Amino acid sequence: MIEIKMEIKDDKQYIARVLKGDSGAYAFLVKKYKSMAYSLALKLVKNREDAEEIAQDAFVKAYQSLGQFRGSSRFSTWLYRIVYNTSISRLRKTTAEVVSLEDSAVEAKESSEVMDAYYCLKEQERKKFLDLALEKLDPDENFLVTLYYYDDRDLDEIAQITGMTRNNAKVKIFRSRQKMLGLLKEYLNDELTMIL
C-alpha cells in the first residue's frame, strides 16, 4: 500500500513537470513502465516487432493526452489501458485469430495432489513450466493473469484497464487459473513419464 502511494506521488511529480513544459521528465515514466507495457502488448499480439510498436504508440498517445489525465487512477493503470486498446485495435486490423485452448480444469481433489507435486519441483522447473503454461493460455488470459499475479493489480484496476466488468475479470482469472492447474497436471505427468 505504501509502495503504491509512493508510486502515485512520484508519478504525479513527473507528470506535473511534463505539463509545465519539461518534456524530458517524461523519460522517467517511459523508463519505469516500458518493460511492463511492452510485455503486456507482447502477450496480446505475440509478435516482438508489433509489441514494441504498440508500446511506443501507447507512450506517445499517453504523452499527447497527459493534460486529460485526471489522476483518479494510477498513471500505469491509465497507460496499460492505452496499451490494451492499442493492441486490440491492432489485432482487429490484422484479423488474427485467437486459438482457444480447451478448458482443462481440474477437480478440487486432483488440485491438491497437483499442488503437492508442484512444490516438489525445483525453481528452474517452475520457471520452465510457467513459460510453457503462459504460452498455451489465450492472449487475453495471459494478459489478465500477468496483471493479477505478477503486477499485483486488483480486480477493479484490471476492470479499468481492460474495460471488462469486475465480475467478468474475476471469472476469467478464475478460469485461467484452472487452466494453468490443468496444464500443470499434464506437465507433471509428462515429466514423470520421462523419468520412468
Provide, rounded to whole angstroms, the least separation between the CB of residue 192 and other proteins: 19
77 binds other proteins (CB under 8 A): no
Each as own residue / partner, the long-range contacts of residues 43-46 (CB below 8 Å, 24 or more positions apart, any chain) are 43/134, 43/139, 43/142, 43/143, 43/146, 44/84, 44/87, 44/88, 44/91, 44/139, 44/140, 44/142, 44/143, 45/87, 45/90, 45/91, 45/96, 45/139, 46/139
9 binds other proteins (CB under 8 A): no
To which residue does cell 505478477 refer? 150
18 binds other proteins (CB under 8 A): yes
**Cell numbers given for 134:** 503462459
Stretch that binds other proteins, among 80-88, 96-104, 116-124, 157-165 (CB under 8 A): 116-124
80 binds other proteins (CB under 8 A): no
Q: Among 7, 10, 52, 191, which residue interacts with other proteins (rule: CB under 8 A)?
A: 52
Q: Among 8, 168, 177, 186, which residue interacts with other proteins (rule: CB under 8 A)?
A: 177
Measured from the CB atom, is 91 or 144 closer to other proteins? 144
Q: Where are the alpha helices (DSSP H) in the chain?
A: 2-19, 26-45, 48-64, 75-94, 108-120, 123-136, 139-145, 155-162, 166-195
Binding residues (CB under 8 A) for other proteins: these are 18-21, 23-24, 26-27, 30-31, 34-36, 38-39, 42, 48, 51-52, 55-56, 59-60, 63-67, 108, 111-112, 115, 118-119, 123, 126-127, 129-130, 134, 145-146, 149-150, 177, 180-181
